[in-house]
Structure 1
Amino acid sequence: MAQKILDQGRTQGTISQEYDDDESISHLPRCQVDASWVKDSAFVGGGCVFDIEPGIHTYGSFGIDQVLSPLHAEFNILLCAMKTALQLGFSTMSFESDCLQLVKLINDEEAWPIVASERNEFDHLHTLFIDFSISFIARKHNVRADLLAKGASSQKSLFSHVNSVIPSWLASNANPFILN
């Protein structure tokens, strides 16, 4: 089951939710995102994988200041990925997250005061895309972004790394990058 909402504003964006694990329709370019949040840590780790064309990937990992909750972490990493996509020159992107709550929050356009700041930034960034979508994917399909997020979290620092090369601190875990 997929639900789509068309944005009639400045952009022709689509925000969608995908619930069926077996039905994985991927549009390129796409960006899979994930966050790694630990309650007593000073930092949150984030990862994103841009699949630009078949066989062409760009990997992003981020260390950001600790946030209030896992939902805040997921939202902030999505914002990092959106900014990165724009900096890389993409005005069209299909984002995928394994955080169903985040996808529903964006899709339903409900006012959640606790994430109002993130929502305002999202609304602004969203207008900069010509075509935008976000959909839910199962965790088993988000392994690469998950590894980047956990690896970024283990760095325990503020940083941003975007490159077509897998970060050296993840070299021992490279096999999932080939399979996914």
Structure 2
Amino acid sequence: NDLKNTNLNDINERIMKIKVKEDKKIQMSSRNNRLKGLEALSQINFKEEKKPAREKIKDRVKVLAEELNIGVPTLTDIVEELKKPGRDPRDEMPKVIFRSDVMKMEDMEVGMKLKGTVRNVVDFGAFVDIGVKQDGLVHLSEMSDKFIKNPMEVVQVGDVVDVTIIKLDKERQRIGLSMKTKR
């Protein structure tokens, strides 16, 4: 509910309420790790140590990460992103200058060469924003002139790539792209 209502401005204060070892360790049942971690967020009484604030919060994040059974870096990333609801980290990527003559699917044709930004990398390829409503897919087999097993060997999110349109399905709104140079 707090996430839905963007009521997480006090997340650091909630984390500071988590008891650490010096606070007589949080006493909770071992039934459900997630519930334990959420209950830990609501703990109020903790002993003030003579550590700087940054060290205090790190101690509490370690306890919470252990209770939730996730890594400290993962939990830290989650907390940082929860502080900025509605923000998409991909928005920080450099903008590509798209071709002005390609604004919609009807403007495209097979064989056309375009520049695009990799928006998502998945096991079977990468989705590339080429300046129209629908992102195009570069299938794993079309990512490189040589054999690759993983798309991350070639691209990562945010990369600007040169692509060629190899398939257009206007009815289903699908765009097939290739990054091969020998086309």
TM-score range, shorter chain: under 0.3
Q: Which has the higher contact order (CA 8 A, sep 6+)?
A: 1
Q: Which has the higher helix share?
A: 1
Per the normalisation by structure 1, the TM-score is 0.22
Per the normalisation by structure 2, the TM-score is 0.22
